[in-house]
């Protein structure tokens, strides 16, 4: 294992942050990239990384790694250090209000890559694999040439420089109170499905373009966009990615983290990035639930203020019109019942019990499009 530490540029004099990546296995062209806690207050993925680090060390010592595997256990030291009244607040950057998992337009890599190719030209090969190697060289140039002036952009550029040439990119997050769920792309679902099975994911949300410019999507969306722009060129989907939500931020234990780390190892074994001994192979579990379109996502907002009493829990299936939350006012004795707009699975709800008008209470995924425009800020 090799440890690499990079110092980010500081946004204020006398301050800087460091990022550390752990590199396992041979550099043979095959690569997997995993990072945790891009939202700095979402720590279950970092605990999974603690166990994954140990498993990868052991497999490397036994010569069982078939690819380069890069693990960044704390990928956002900026958000990790943000506290207000003893409460961690790691989703948004205090100074700029930027969501750490919403990259700025400067990181529109597919657009910049296409512009570079059209400006300079490229000697295409007759084979998709050779074109992948060629395009990754150009992609490295695109990332290297991005000018950064803030600590958040410096962080994003560093993370992309570690991940751009990976075949699989997994961004490990969590929700507030939730079941394990995943986001991904329909075109790569056939390769992500085994991951959902091994992890026991209770909800899978797929979209061609979530409109969020999230970290993994910035990378995996490059390849379908290149195929659409150069339809006569042999190109493969050289990168698949997923945002994996490891339940809720307080659903954190040694048992769950060890279980999830082993599931990731089983998946990488199934995909050919490492070789487990035969006796350790696990049969592919059943899929808990078929994927839904991201457009079927329903965010349930509070219509009024009061105390939120949840009538259903993450993992429950609800029908359209079913009562899901009561909002009560102990002064007026008013009770407002919120009902589900569609049939679907409840996969997350807010941990806050004081409802405020237009604040999100719950997330429901429907198998039917609901006109949702994308992910929450």
**What pLDDT digit, counting tens, does each position of 41-72 carry?**
999 999 999 999 999 999 999 999 999 999 99
Beta bridge partners of 182: 204, 244
Helix (H) / strand (E) element for 61: namely helix 44-61
**Domain 2-290, CATH among 3.30.2290.10, 3.40.630.10, 3.20.20.70, 3.40.50.720:** 3.40.630.10
Q: What is the dihedral of CA 354, 360, 362, 365, to 10 degrees?
A: 180
Residue 28 confidence class, pLDDT cut points 50, 70, 90:
confident
Confidence of residue 83 (pLDDT cuts 50, 70, 90): very high
Determine contact, residues 208/185, Cβ cutoff 8 Å. Answer: yes
Polymer length in residues for the chain: 377
Residue 7 burial by Cβ neighbours in a 10 Å radius (0-12, 13-18, 19+): exposed
The span from the CA of 356 to the CA of 302, in Å, is 6
* Reported confidence tier of residue 372, pLDDT bands at 50, 70, 90: confident
Whether residue 192 has pLDDT greater than 80: yes
Mean pLDDT throughout 229-239?
A: 97
Which residue carries 């945002």 as its tokens? 243
- Of all helices (H) and strands (E), which one includes residue 377? none
Q: 234 to each of 217, 301, 334, how far by Cα in Å?
A: 22, 46, 63
Domain with CATH 2.40.50.100 in the chain: 294-365
Q: Does domain 294-365 have CATH number 2.40.50.100?
A: yes
Residue 310 has pLDDT above 70, yes or no: yes
| Banded model confidence at residue 373, pLDDT cuts 50, 70, 90 | low
Average pLDDT of span 251-272: 98
- Give the pairing of strands 18-24 and 68-72: antiparallel
Predicted TM-score (pTM) of this structure: 0.97
pLDDT top residue among 39 and 209 = 39
pLDDT band at 181; cut points 50, 70, 90? very high
The helix (H) or strand (E) run that includes residue 226 is helix 222-229
Q: Tokens representing 110? A: 């597919």
Range of weakest confidence among 104-108, 263-267, 292-296, 360-364: 104-108
Q: What is the CA radius of gyration of the chain?
A: 21
Q: Per-residue pLDDT for 35 more than 70?
A: yes
Residues of the chain with CATH 3.40.630.10: 2-290
pLDDT band with cut points at 50, 70 and 90 for residue 126: very high
């Amino acid at each position: 294992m090799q440890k690499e530490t990079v110092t980010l540029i500081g946004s204020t004099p006398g301050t800087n942050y460091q990022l550390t990546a752990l590199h396992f296995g041979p550099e043979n062209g095959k690569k997997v990239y995993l990072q945790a806690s891009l939202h700095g207050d979402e720590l279950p993925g970092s605990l999974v990384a603690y166990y994954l680090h140990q498993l990868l060390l052991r497999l490397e010592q036994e010569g069982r790694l078939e690819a380069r595997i890069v693990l960044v256990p704390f990928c956002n030291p900026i958000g990790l250090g943000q506290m207000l009244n003893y409460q961690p607040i790691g989703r948004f950057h205090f100074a700029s209000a930027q969501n750490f998992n919403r990259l700025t337009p400067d990181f529109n890599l597919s657009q910049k890559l296409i512009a570079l190719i059209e400006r300079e030209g490229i000697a295409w090969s007759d084979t998709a694999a050779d074109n992948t190697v060629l395009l990754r060289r150009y992609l490295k140039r695109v990332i290297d040439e991005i000018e950064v002036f803030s600590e958040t952009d410096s962080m994003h550029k560093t993370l992309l420089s570690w991940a751009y040439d990976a075949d699989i990119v997994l961004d490990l997050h969590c929700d507030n109170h939730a079941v394990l769920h995943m986001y991904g792309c329909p075109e790569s679902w056939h390769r992500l499905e085994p991951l959902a099975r091994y992890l026991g994911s209770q909800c899978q949300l797929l979209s061609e373009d979530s409109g969020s410019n999230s970290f993994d999507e910035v990378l995996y969306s490059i390849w379908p966009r290149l195929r659409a722009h150069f339809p006569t060129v042999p190109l493969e989907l050289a990168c698949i990615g997923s945002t994996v939500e490891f339940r809720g931020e307080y659903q954190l234990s040694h048992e769950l983290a060890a279980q999830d780390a082993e599931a990731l190892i089983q998946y990488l074994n199934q995909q050919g990035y490492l070789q487990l001994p035969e006796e350790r192979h696990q049969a592919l579990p059943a899929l808990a639930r078929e994927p839904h379109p991201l457009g079927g996502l329903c965010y349930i907002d509070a219509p009024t203020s009061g105390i939120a009493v949840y009538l259903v829990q993450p993992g429950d299936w609800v029908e359209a019109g079913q009562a899901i939350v009561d909002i009560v006012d102990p002064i007026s004795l008013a009770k407002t019942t919120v009902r589900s707009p569609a049939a679907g699975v409840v996969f997350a709800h807010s941990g806050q019990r004081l409802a405020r008008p237009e604040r999100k209470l719950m997330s429901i995924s429907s198998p039917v499009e609901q006109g949702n425009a994308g992910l929450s800020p």
